[in-house]
């Protein structure tokens, strides 16, 4: 009977996310470590609507306000409930998924002491990722249309110097993103993005932190505390102890260190709508980043929006292959003439290749576009 309650809660939690994942034994065992039995009953109140006001929760949960607030407090500390007011000042209680962005990410944004229980949980998450891969691969043809219809999961914020910028590109490359004329073009420089917000928080990179607990530390950077949230997301992260509020100056210093290590700035927007204000920005490495690693594992498609495309000047390229090594999505190869060539379909316009090119042989061409690369077919 108890397992059935966990299974039911798991189905509701999975439904709250964008990634088609399986409800299986490993997921239920993870939830048993994270959630109590009475919390399962409260989660059941979100089965039809993931975001609710207090008045709505009173009806769906059949609980008094004081008891609802008690559950909200407990589940917010675990990253399963996001409790912040909307633009009209009305408090909204939103059930979070397990992954992308949900309880897993919030859990590993805070510093966790390494012990037997935490190592066990980290291994269980890895098992679940691998089982999710098997589920996606076994249902590849049925799930692929879901990925094809998805909006970009994140938006690249390039390492951008004026010397890197070239002409505007033809937006027929890949799929053009529709940005209403009356909307403000999303900020392309992290300095501009940081300046927009009064509330900024920083937490641990959940991907690298999870890998640390697995005994597989990042090979690209020693940085850990460089996962940013903004506005009400920053207030939530700080209130729940997942991160800490910082100044704009400290944020820019961390961003600069991330760029020096070749990390990619990836911004996230509400409901993947790039016309809406950013909620967070990750600084992603090639070997740990969840969206990149899960793409290579065959779990999810690479779905990204970007305003740039790398272009190599063959007259300046000396074939050193630095860009090939640094590219986070393996979009660059040396051709038969030992000159770097960019795969337009894969390039996310991060500027890492241009940043590290010793010959300044790479520029970034401008033009908003969507990058879509299906997950590899592994079977």
Residue 230: its pLDDT value, please? 97
Residue 254 corresponds to which tokens in the numbers above? Answer: 């961390």
| pLDDT(177) > 80 | no
Rounded CA-CA distance 379/374 in Å is: 14
- Residue 182 or residue 160, greater confidence: 160
User: Measured between alpha carbons, how far is 97 from 95 in angstroms, rounded to an integer?
Assistant: 7
The pLDDT of residue 178 is 53
Can you give 273-342 as a three-state secondary structure string?
CCCCCCCEEEEECCCCCHHHHHHHHCCCCEEEEEEEEEEECCCCCCCCCHHHHHCCCCCEEECCCCCEEE
- Do both 35 and 132 map to the same domain? yes
CATH number, domain at 122?
A: 1.10.10.10
- pLDDT tens for 301-311 read 999 999 999 99
Q: Which parts of 204-243 are beta strand (E)?
A: 227-230
List the domain range (segments joined by +) for residue 255: 143-373
Q: Does the residue 378 lie in any domain?
A: no
pLDDT at 60 over 80: yes
The verdict on residue 92 lying in a domain is yes
Same-domain pairing of 128 and 194? no
* Phi then psi dihedrals of residue 100, to 5 deg: 55, 85
Q: Does any domain span residue 379? A: no
Give the mean pLDDT of 35-64: 96
| Token couple for 330 | 């393996």
For 256-289, the pLDDT digits (tens) are 999 999 999 999 999 888 889 999 999 999 989 9
Sheet containing 165-168, strands listed edge to edge, beginning at the edge strand earlier in sequence: 165-168, 362-373, 302-312, 154-157, 264-268, 280-284, 227-230, 200-203, 244-246
Cα of first residue to Cα of last residue in the chain, in angstroms, is 36
Query: Which pair of tokens denotes residue 100?
Result: 């992308």
Looking at residue 182, its pLDDT comes to 43
- Both tokens assigned to 313: 């000047």
Residue that terminates a domain, selected from 78, 106, 138: 138
Identify the CA nearest to 294 among candidates 105, 133, 104, 122. Answer: 133
Domain match, 154 and 82 both: no
Asked whether residue 162 carries a pLDDT value surpassing 60, the answer given is no
Identify the pLDDT of residue 185.
57
* Pair (261, 350) in one structural domain: yes
Both 98 and 121 in one domain: the answer is: yes
Claim to verify: residue 112 and residue 170 sit in the same structural domain:
no
Is 107 part of any domain? Answer: yes
Residue 349 lies in a domain: yes
Residue with tokens 């990750």: 282
86: Cβ contacts below 8 Å, ≥ 6 apart: 92
On whether the CB atoms of residues 205 and 227 are closer than 8 A, the answer is: yes
207 with 249, same domain: the answer is: yes
340 domain residue, yes or no: yes
Average of per-residue pLDDT values in the chain:
91
Domain boundary among 86, 105, 138: 138
362-373/302-312 β-pairing: antiparallel
Q: How many residues does the chain have?
A: 379
How far is the CA of 318 from the CAs of 137, 150, 335, 336, in angstroms? 40, 39, 12, 13
- Assess whether 175 and 74 both reside in one domain: no
Q: What is the pLDDT of residue 363?
A: 94
Q: Of 330, 306, 334, 337, whose CA–CA distance to 321 is shortest?
A: 334
Mean pLDDT for the stretch of residues 361-375: 94
> Is the CB of residue 305 less than 8 Å from the CB of residue 369?
yes
**333 plus 355 within the same structural domain:** yes
Burial 61-72 (b: 16+ CB within 10 A, else e): bebeeeebeebb
> Alpha-carbon Rg of the chain, whole angstroms?
21
Q: Let me know the angle formed at the C-alpha of 79 by 78 and 83, rounded to the nearest 5 degrees.
A: 115
128/260 same-domain check: no
Instruction: Tell me the percentage of the chain whose pLDDT exceeds 70.
Output: 93
Closest CA to 201 of 159, 232, 171, 169: 232
356 within some domain: yes
**Looking at the structure, do residues 173 and 227 belong to the same domain, yes or no?**
yes
205 pLDDT higher than 70: yes
Could you read off the pLDDT of 105-151 as tens digits, one per residue? 999 999 888 889 999 999 999 999 999 999 999 999 999 999 999 99
**Per-residue confidence (pLDDT) for residue 170, from 0 to 100:** 46
Of 103, 138, 173, the residue at which a domain comes to its end is: 138
Q: How far is CA 139 from the centre of its chain?
A: 24
According to the model, what pLDDT value does residue 256 have?
95
Could you tell me if 171 and 296 lie in one domain? Answer: yes
In a domain, 8, yes or no: yes
Q: How many domains in the chain? A: 2
């Amino acid at each position: 009977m108890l397992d059935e309650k966990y299974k039911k809660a798991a189905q509701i939690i999975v439904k709250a996310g964008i990634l088609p994942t399986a409800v299986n034994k490993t997921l239920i065992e993870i939830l048993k470590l994270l959630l109590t039995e009475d919390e399962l009953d409260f989660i059941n109140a979100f089965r039809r609507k993931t975001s609710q006001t207090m008045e709505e929760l009173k009806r769906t949960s059949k609980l008094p306000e004081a008891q609802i607030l008690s559950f909200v407090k407990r589940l917010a500390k675990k990253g399963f409930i996001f409790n912040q007011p909307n633009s009209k000042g009305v408090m909204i209680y939103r059930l979070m998924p397990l992954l992308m962005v949900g309880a897993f990410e919030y859990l590993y944004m805070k510093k966790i002491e390494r012990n037997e229980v935490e190592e066990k949980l980290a291994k269980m998450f890895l098992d679940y990722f691998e089982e999710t891969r098997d589920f996606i691969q076994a249902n590849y043809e049925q799930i692929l249309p879901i990925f094809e219809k998805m909006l970009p999961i994140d938006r690249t914020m390039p390492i951008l110097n004026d010397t890197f910028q070239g002409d505007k590109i033809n937006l027929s490359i890949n799929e053009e993103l529709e940005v209403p004329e009356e909307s403000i073009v999303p900020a392309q420089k992290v300095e501009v993005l940081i300046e927009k917000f009064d509330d900024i928080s920083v937490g641990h990179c959940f991907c690298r932190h999870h890998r640390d607990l697995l005994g597989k530390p990042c090979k690209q950077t020693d940085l850990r505390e460089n996962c940013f949230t903004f506005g009400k997301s920053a207030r939530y992260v700080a209130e729940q102890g997942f991160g800490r509020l910082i100044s704009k100056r400290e944020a820019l210093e961390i961003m600069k260190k991330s760029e020096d290590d070749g990390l990619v700035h990836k911004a996230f927007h509400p409901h993947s709508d790039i016309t809406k204000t950013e909620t967070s920005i990750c600084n992603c490495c090639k070997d740990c980043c969840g969206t990149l690693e899960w793409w290579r594992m065959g779990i999810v498609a690479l779905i990204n929006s970007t305003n740039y495309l790398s272009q190599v000047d063959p007259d300046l390229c000396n074939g050193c292959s630095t860009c090939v090594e640094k590219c986070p999505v393996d979009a660059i190869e040396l051709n038969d003439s030992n000159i770097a060539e960019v795969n337009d379909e894969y390039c996310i316009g991060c500027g890492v290749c241009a940043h590290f090119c010793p010959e300044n042989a790479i520029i970034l061409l401008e033009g908003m576009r969507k990058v879509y690369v299906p997950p590899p077919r592994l079977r």
